[in-house]
Chain A
Amino acid sequence: MNTEANAEASARTCHPGLETFDLHDGNDDLGPLGGLEYDDRAPAATMPAPVAYSGMELFDHDLVWGESGAWHQDDQSPNGLLAVIGGSAMAAGEASAVTGLVENFAEDRGDYSIAMGKAIFEASAYTCEPGGALAAAGTFLDVSGADFIFEHEIGQSKHGPYDAWARSELDYLSIDIHGWSPPQGAIVIKVDQSVGHYQPYGLELPQGNLAQVLAMSEAHGADTLSATFTNALTIENHFSFVNAVGIVAL
């Protein structure tokens, strides 16, 4: 299963001229059935800072590494593997662009089940007036019923007087060994590489207002569920927003 939602509105505020608008939204499922789814420029100045944040987990059944350095455990579903991954991005400015990509995959391989995926959300904004650009991006992950969870998250953001940029990326891999569980609950290895300020090489300023998101979710096994949800919103000369969620269950 894959769901794609695109919203694009292009306009020029600084330079009067022809205004054009375009939007596209769609869902496509071309996957085999029965199996599953698918789916700067200027000196620094005081202004709102872009934010890269980690989203709230909808379900917290993981074993996590606490601040005290000790493992602690929450509930764990005994009934299979469930993985929810997603994120959101927003940009405010006369020109803004946000994009989102979610991929989620799960497969029952007999003795064990595996789920993996990624979420990448990016936002950039530009304004003619100092302090008017804002960009934020975030991702989240929740896995239930897994014995091992490997999570890697990268957050980056940058802002200037006339522009702002933020990016959040999350990758994960989880494994559920059938008929076995770690004595102290699921083992979670999480790496967070958030960077406060980062200027990507070759970053191009947005033109117009763009919001584009794509979510794909695929599950293979006996009894499976896969679902995707996408939203995209643009307001000409002001704002762009996207979010997406991909769900797989075995």
Chain B
Amino acid sequence: MAGSINMFLVEGSSAALALGDQTMTDTAASTAAWPGGAIGFAAAVAVAQDTAPGTPETSAATDVIATGGYMTSSHGSHWSVDVPYGPTPTSVDVSLTFVSTHGGGYAFSGYDLVGSSLHGLL
């Protein structure tokens, strides 16, 4: 007996770390799933600055997983800038990831899934 399962799953996470005299971190991870598709987005930003000669450190990482569609795509970018010398050594790290999957889902069978997996910031 043959059978099939149509289910969309998406999850994301992000993390940011900053070490210095002045630091700022911001993370966001959003997911949404509906009958026929799912998307996930995660972002992380870390900035650190020393007011005296030093070595500020930053790290930003994101991760998103999405499954279930006929077509899946992912886009990732990661930037890092470090200026460790000068009066205000600065380090910046930015990470972005976007994933989408859609097609192939059964609108009604996936209805219950929508309510449980559509959520905002993690």
A residues with CB within 8 A of B:
1-9, 16-19, 21-39, 217, 219, 222-237
Q: Are A27 and B74 in contact (CB under 8 A)?
A: no
A-B contact pairs, 28 of them (CB 8 A): A1-B80, A3-B76, A3-B78, A7-B72, A16-B2, A21-B67, A21-B68, A23-B67, A23-B101, A26-B62, A27-B42, A27-B95, A29-B61, A29-B80, A29-B95, A30-B59, A33-B57, A34-B91, A35-B55, A219-B82, A225-B82, A227-B77, A229-B76, A229-B78, A230-B75, A231-B75, A233-B73, A236-B104
Which residues, 92 to 116 on B, are CB-close (under 8 Å) to A? 93, 95-97, 99, 101, 103-104
From DSSP, what is the main secondary structure of chain A's interface residues? strand
Q: How far is the CB of B61 from chain A (nearest CB, A)?
A: 5
Q: Which residue of A lies closest to B17 (CB)?
A: A33
Q: Are A25 and B66 in contact (CB under 8 A)?
A: yes
Q: When the two chains form the complex, which single residue of B4, B58, B77 contacts A33, counting CB atoms closer than 8 Å?
A: B58
B residues with CB within 8 A of A:
2-5, 17, 19, 42, 48, 55-85, 89, 91, 93, 95-97, 99, 101, 103-104
Chain A residues with CB under 8 Å of B101's CB are: 21, 23
Chain B residues with CB under 8 Å of A230's CB are: 74-77
Chain A residues with CB under 8 Å of B91's CB are: 33-34
Most buried by A among B17, B19, B63, B77: B77
Q: When the two chains form the complex, which single residue of B2, B5, B76, B84 contacts A27, counting CB atoms closer than 8 Å?
A: B76
Q: Are B93 and A3 in contact (CB under 8 A)?
A: no
Chain B residues with CB under 8 Å of A227's CB are: 77-80
Q: Are A23 and B78 in contact (CB under 8 A)?
A: no
Q: How far is the CB of B41 from chain A (nearest CB, A)?
A: 11
Q: Are A26 and B77 in contact (CB under 8 A)?
A: no
Q: Are B59 and A24 in contact (CB under 8 A)?
A: no
Q: Which residue of B lies closest to A6 (CB)?
A: B74
A5-B2 Cα distance, complex, nearest whole Å: 32
Beyond A18-B2, A18-B4, A26-B62, is A7–B74 a contact (Cβ under 8 Å)? Answer: yes
Beyond A17-B2, A18-B3, is A39–B78 a contact (Cβ under 8 Å)? Answer: yes
Chain A residues with CB under 8 Å of B2's CB are: 16-18
A24-B97 Cα distance, complex, nearest whole Å: 11
Q: Which residue of B lies closest to A214 (CB)?
A: B76
Q: Are B85 and A223 in contact (CB under 8 A)?
A: yes
Beyond A1-B80, A34-B84, A39-B80, is A25–B59 a contact (Cβ under 8 Å)? Answer: no
Q: How far is the CB of A227 from chain B (nearest CB, A)?
A: 5
